[in-house]
């Protein structure tokens, strides 16, 4: 069994030297006379000389602007810092700039795409570029202006990517909801931003079952009074009933080709919105987070090149839906000139190795999934490295929640030994990562390799002091470009301030627990707002899950801490067991002893209960805080949204438990 912090992989010297970040360091030495001993030295410079670092990103990647910028950053204060004032850029223009790469053919593949509805196919850079230009021109003809909001209720297919790029190309503002979202969740999001046009598909297929969205589409259209246009995509059935006055996707795209030099991108100012992305919305109204073109452009150029190490010959896959910010990053792959793999469907249908088969046939170089999905693969007994040709695979990206040492171990044991396994952590708030990976550093079990470039990430204790080798709050000391411009309908900034700056006026408090070690690696220990308080000691939930889920009987687990009357605490644990297993006294004792031995006596729950399942958000995160609120008596409609859940039926057990244990929970 691998232990936390155990060395698992060291990059070959030639691999590290050929990496994008190493090439960038060589450029800094040649062009700017800057020499750095290693990645950590470079990272320290990137957060102390903010102007020098971000101006180098601008120059190194040859950002195209209508006008020169007057300053890299107007003031080093959060929130409110303005980036690259005076510039006028367009994010979509940079996504498609590699279409015209004179050294490569426009016929090369930009998208490999597969779904449970369609066979595997490819789209070329030339096809993509033309369809984006045609659709963007049609949107302009329909009266869409810069700043108008365009929303999507579509699956992870090329049409959705085309719609997003066409929207951004003309300066309109994009927002997306995945088709598995229920009407309530969609309306909670889209009604906030008053969209003018909706792209909608008639449904999707998952796990071999069709899910029609004809009725949902009708209701969404009826409840968004600002809509002027609807574009309908018959994805499941050619004869699906569309909303009144909706125009067919095929009609809009059936137009003469538009050459690259005949199309004008709307280059926009530094504070022009590119999209609105939403928090998960498990409680309350989702936060409508607004980013800028220039902010996400420079951030994604840095992220995709230096922290995911994509190159023009790369092929990237990440298992996501269009309702998660990881979908935006899959499209950001295009900034590097590499290809993306789009997949719409179940990760385990018709066989548990569905995604590895896809990685094999597409010659995937970078494969991504959540740690939860990797754990499912482990429990299914998959052996991808033995059963599939993964010779092209160079890296694995795990994101969405904390990755345990066991996740790392499984990937190295059953996928590939020479593999750059990367765990990264960030958030929808910045549409990127705070801490992540670099191909020039070793990989240690369960450890995130480093702070990302330009991210002044720190761990603070409760006294507000920066700490090392101690769990603290994840704080950001200086601004970064892809921080939100604002929240929609929060022009005073009150909700934005409350979310991240309530405790410290000019320091970003993200809400995660993090620990850095002396070598600069780090561990995420879960959300601080769902942390456990045991006799005044704060405990992250991730360390408990990692320990308990070693036991072969346990499929999944969830733990919360409840504050009861009289200053008392009650910490129950809920476990889902393998078929045929029972939570008897012996298993309870084994769980307690394991936690006591590997963690501490404070980690041992007060009671352990067997449940039918653990509730998850649609992005694969355990719903600790909503479950805690339900157990404390919060009405379910105020504690969470069932439409924002992956498995809403699991809630019924917790609701019954709350009713049965009301006296104990409130007494």
The residues, any chain, with a CB within 8 Å of residue 441's CB and separated by 6 or more, are 11, 39, 449, 450
Position 535 pLDDT exceeds 60: no
Domain containing residue 544: 531-666
Q: Is 200 exposed, middle or buried (0-12, 13-18, 19+ CB in 10 A)?
A: buried
| Residues 205 and 332 grouped into a single domain | yes
The 10s digit of each residue's pLDDT in 33-55 is 999 999 999 999 999 999 999 99
Cis peptide, bond prior to residue 334, ω within 30 of zero: no
Eight-state DSSP code of residue 169: H
Quote the pLDDT of residue 282: 42
* Domain membership flag for residue 143: yes
| Residues 63 and 150 grouped into a single domain | no
DSSP 511-523: EEEEEE-TTS-EE
Dihedral (C-alpha) 226, 229, 234, 240: value to the nearest 10 degrees? Answer: 70
**Stretch among 291-305, 470-484, 578-592, 612-626 having the lowest mean pLDDT:** 612-626
Q: Give the count of alpha carbons within 13 A of 476, CB side only.
A: 30
| Residues 72 and 218 grouped into a single domain | no
The 10s digit of each residue's pLDDT in 586-605 is 999 999 988 887 777 778 89
Query: Residue 465: helix, strand or coil by DSSP?
Result: coil
The 10s digit of each residue's pLDDT in 317-369 is 999 999 889 999 999 999 999 999 999 999 999 999 999 999 999 999 999 98
Of the chain, the percentage scoring pLDDT greater than 90 comes to: 71
Q: Are 96 and 128 in contact (CB under 8 A)?
A: yes
Boundary residue ending a domain (326, 342, 358): 342
| Residues 253 and 320 grouped into a single domain | yes
At residue 533 the predicted structure's pLDDT band, cuts being 50, 70 and 90, is low
* Domain membership flag for residue 32: yes
Eight-state DSSP code of residue 452: P
| Residues 114 and 245 grouped into a single domain | yes
The 10s digit of each residue's pLDDT in 14-32 is 999 999 999 999 999 999 9
* Domain membership flag for residue 393: no
| Residues 59 and 171 grouped into a single domain | no
* Domain membership flag for residue 150: yes
Question: What phi, psi does 229 have (nearest 5°)?
Answer: -140, 150
- What is the maximum span of the chain, computed from C-alpha positions, in angstroms? 74
* Domain membership flag for residue 485: no
| Residues 279 and 133 grouped into a single domain | yes
Q: What is the CA radius of gyration of the chain?
A: 24
Angle value at C-alpha 296, between 192 and 232, nearest 5 degrees: 50
Q: Which of 75-84, 175-184, 533-542 has the highest mean pLDDT?
A: 75-84
DSSP 216-233: HHHHHHHT-TT--EEEEE
Quote the pLDDT of residue 102: 56
The 10s digit of each residue's pLDDT in 412-453 is 999 999 999 999 999 899 999 999 999 999 999 999 999 999
Quote the pLDDT of residue 525: 76
Mean pLDDT across the stretch 643-654? Answer: 84
Return the structure tokens found at 599: 């963690």
At residue 660 the predicted structure's pLDDT band, cuts being 50, 70 and 90, is confident
* Domain membership flag for residue 52: yes
| Residues 49 and 106 grouped into a single domain | no
| Residues 136 and 35 grouped into a single domain | no
At residue 632 the predicted structure's pLDDT band, cuts being 50, 70 and 90, is confident
At residue 565 the predicted structure's pLDDT band, cuts being 50, 70 and 90, is low
**Strand positions, DSSP E, 529-647:** 532-534, 537-539, 554-559, 562-563, 569-570, 572-577, 607-610
CATH of the domain at 611: 3.30.300.30
Closest alpha carbon to 160 in 289, 275, 311: 275
Residue 428 to residue 432: CA distance in whole angstroms: 7
CB neighbours (10 Å) of residue 73?
Answer: 20
| Residues 107 and 53 grouped into a single domain | no
| Residues 94 and 153 grouped into a single domain | yes
Q: Are 569 and 534 in contact (CB under 8 A)?
A: yes
Eight-state DSSP code of residue 268: B
Return the structure tokens found at 65: 């602007």
The residues, any chain, with a CB within 8 Å of residue 242's CB and separated by 6 or more, are 202, 214, 217, 230, 232, 234, 248
* Domain membership flag for residue 523: no
At residue 283 the predicted structure's pLDDT band, cuts being 50, 70 and 90, is very low
* Domain membership flag for residue 324: yes
Mean pLDDT across the stretch 557-584? Answer: 84
Q: What is the pTM of this model?
A: 0.85
Q: Is 594 exposed, middle or buried (0-12, 13-18, 19+ CB in 10 A)?
A: middle
Output 603 or 263, whichever has higher pLDDT.
263
Quote the pLDDT of residue 280: 58
The residues, any chain, with a CB within 8 Å of residue 630's CB and separated by 6 or more, are 636, 639, 640, 651, 654, 655, 658
Position 189 pLDDT exceeds 80: yes
Q: Is 576 exposed, middle or buried (0-12, 13-18, 19+ CB in 10 A)?
A: middle
Mean pLDDT across the stretch 125-143? Answer: 98
How many distinct structural domains can be found in the chain?
3
Residue 358 to residue 114: CA distance in whole angstroms: 8
Question: How many residues does the structure list for the chain?
Answer: 667
- What is the separation of C-alpha 479 from the centre of its chain, rounded to a whole number of angstroms? 20
């Amino acid at each position: 069994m691998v232990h936390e912090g155990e060395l698992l992989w060291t990059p070959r010297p030639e691999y590290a030297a050929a990496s994008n970040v190493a090439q960038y360091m060589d450029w800094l030495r040649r062009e700017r006379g800057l020499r750095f001993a290693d990645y950590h030295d470079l990272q320290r410079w990137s957060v102390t000389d903010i102007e020098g670092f971000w101006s180098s990103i601008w120059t190194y990647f040859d950002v195209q602007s209508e006008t020169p910028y007057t300053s890299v950053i107007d003031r080093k204060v959060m929130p409110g810092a303005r980036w690259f004032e005076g510039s006028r850029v367009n994010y979509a223009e940079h996504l498609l700039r590699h279409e015209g790469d004179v050294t490569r053919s426009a016929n090369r593949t930009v998208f490999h795409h597969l779904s449970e509805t369609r066979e595997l196919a490819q789209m070329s850079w030339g096809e993509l570029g033309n369809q984006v230009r045609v659709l963007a021109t049609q949107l302009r003809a329909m009266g869409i202006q810069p700043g108008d909001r365009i929303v999507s209720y579509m699956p992870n297919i090329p049409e959705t990517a085309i719609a997003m790029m066409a929207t951004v190309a003309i300066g309109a503002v994009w927002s997306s909801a995945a088709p598995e979202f229920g009407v309530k969740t969609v309306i909670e999001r889209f009604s906030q931003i008053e969209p003018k046009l909706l792209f909608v598909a008639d449904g999707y297929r998952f796990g071999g079952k069709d899910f029609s969205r004809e009725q949902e589409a009708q209701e969404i259209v009826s409840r968004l009074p600002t809509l002027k246009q609807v574009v309908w995509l018959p994805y499941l059935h050619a004869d699906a009933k569309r909303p009144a006055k909706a125009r067919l996707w095929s009609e809009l795209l059936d137009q003469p080709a538009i050459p690259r030099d005949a199309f004008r991108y709307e280059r926009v100012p530094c504070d022009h919105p590119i999209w609105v992305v939403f928090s998960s919305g498990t409680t309350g109204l989702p936060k409508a987070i607004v980013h800028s073109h220039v902010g996400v452009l420079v951030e994604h150029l840095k992220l995709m090149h230096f922290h995911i190490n994509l190159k023009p010959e790369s092929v990237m896959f990440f298992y996501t839906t269009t309702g998660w910010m990881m979908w935006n990053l899959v499209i950001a792959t295009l900034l590097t000139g590499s290809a993306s793999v789009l997949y719409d469907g179940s990760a385990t249908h018709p066989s548990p190795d569905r995604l590895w088969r896809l990685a094999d046939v597409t010659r995937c170089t970078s494969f991504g999934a959540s740690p939860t999905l990797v754990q499912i693969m482990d429990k299914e007994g998959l052996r991808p490295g033995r059963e599939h040709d993964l010779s092209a695979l160079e890296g694995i990206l795990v994101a969405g929640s904390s990755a345990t040492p066991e996740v790392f171990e499984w990937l190295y044991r059953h996928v590939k030994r020479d593999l750059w396994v990367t765990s990264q952590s960030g958030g929808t708030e910045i549409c990127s990562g705070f801490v992540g990976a670099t191909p020039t550093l070793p990989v240690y079990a369960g450890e995130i390799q480093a702070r990302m470039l330009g991210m002044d990430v720190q761990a603070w204790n409760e006294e507000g002091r920066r700490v090392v080798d101690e769990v603290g709050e994840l704080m950001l000391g200086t601004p970064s470009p892809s921080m939100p411009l604002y929240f929609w309908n929060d022009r005073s900034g009150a909700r934005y301030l409350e979310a991240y700056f309530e405790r410290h006026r000019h320091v970003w408090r993200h809400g995660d627990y993090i620990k850095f070690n002396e070598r600069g690696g780090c561990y995420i220990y879960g959300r601080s707002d769902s942390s456990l308080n045991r006799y005044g000691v704060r405990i992250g939930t991730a360390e408990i899950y990692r320990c308990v889920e070693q036991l072969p009987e346990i499929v999944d687990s969830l733990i919360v801490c409840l504050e009861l009357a009289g200053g008392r605490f009650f910490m129950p644990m809920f476990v889902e067991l393998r078929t045929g297993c029972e939570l008897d006294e012996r298993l309870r004792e084994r769980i307690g002893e394991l936690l006591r031995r590997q963690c501490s006596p404070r980690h041992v729950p007060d009671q352990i209960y067997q449940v039918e399942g653990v509730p998850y958000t649609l992005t694969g995160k355990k719903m600790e805080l909503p479950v805690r609120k339900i157990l404390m008596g919060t009405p379910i409609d105020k504690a969470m949204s069932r439409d924002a859940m992956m498995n809403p039926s699991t809630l019924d057990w917790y609701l019954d438990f709350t009713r049965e244990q009301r006296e104990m929970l409130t007494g």
